Structure 1
Amino acid sequence: MGGVKELGERPQEKVGPLELIAFLCELAMLVLLAVAGIAMMDSLLGRVLVAIALPVAAAGIWSVWMAPTSRRRLPNPSRLYAQVALFAAVGLVVGPTTGWLVGAAFFVVSAVVFAERYRRELRTT
């Protein structure tokens, strides 16, 4: 039914280019952590375990405190601080294995994108 909102339904969020880039940053975080996990270990079992554990840990943190559908989502600006801290940690983890330029570029791009999303959120409230 058009216009009728179900109980407990969240409002539809606008999806534009910035939201797409933010989502790609989230995916890049998981891929970079998996690649770093593979490069960190010598044994095949170690590579597989770390390549799975690192992205799962990041996804778990994200899903609990930062995901739009989380019941425990942090309010801004705390959420932005947590996101930037997570991006910094990922940059530091992937730097030694994939190159410091890759880690730094991931951190800078992700932090700027999510800071801009926060800035736009402030303007609309």
Structure 2
Amino acid sequence: MTGLGERPQEKVGPLELIAFLCELAMLVLLAMTGVAATDSLLGRVLATVALPAAAAGIWSVWMAPTSRRRLANPSRLYAQVTLFAVVGTTVGLFLGWLVGAAFFVVSAVVFAELCRRERRTA
């Protein structure tokens, strides 16, 4: 039973765990990209902080489950896949195309399946 203003507990299964790991991987890969992006120490520090912070800010406003401005599906899925594509491309440029492509494919497939399940139960 939930109290007034509380959200019901959502079930967390293997797919939700993988989705969370994809979110964490996005932040780690962006930090690694920041380190590889420039030779300047100041540039590295700024990029290492700014890239994950920008992605986390976008995610927290429009995609996080507790956000008041969370996009509804399928718009949320489109935004997620776009963010994953931008991150995958950026990571691919600095860390190797295989790393960027693997991140994009796994993340897009996992979040597409979550969207499909959400729409099926709605």
TM-score tier by shorter-chain length is: over 0.9
Counterpart of 2:54? 57
1:20-78 Cα shifts (integer Å, max 9, x gaps): 00000000000000000110011111101100000000000000000000000000000
Count of paired positions? 122
1:58-110 Cα shifts (integer Å, max 9, x gaps): 00000000000000000000000000000000001110111001001100000
Counterpart of 2:73? 76
| C-alpha separation in 1, matches of 2:10 and 2:49 | 31
| C-alpha separation in 1, matches of 2:11 and 2:73 | 18
Identity %: 80
| C-alpha separation in 1, matches of 2:101 and 2:108 | 10
Where does structure 1 differ by over 6 angstroms across 4 or more consecutive aligned residues? Answer: none
Q: In the alignment, which of 105, 113, 116 is matched to residue 116 of structure 1?
A: 113
Q: Is there any run of 5+ residues in structure 1 with no aligned partner, and where? A: none
Q: Is there any run of 5+ residues in structure 2 with no aligned partner, and where? A: none
> Where does 1:1-125 land on structure 2 (aligned, <5 Å)?
3=1, 5-125=2-122
- TM-score of the superposed pair, with normalisation by structure 2: 0.98
- TM-score of the superposed pair, with normalisation by structure 1: 0.96
RMSD (Å), alpha carbons: 0.6
Larger radius of gyration: 1
| C-alpha separation in 1, matches of 2:41 and 2:52 | 17
| C-alpha separation in 2, matches of 1:49 and 1:6 | 43
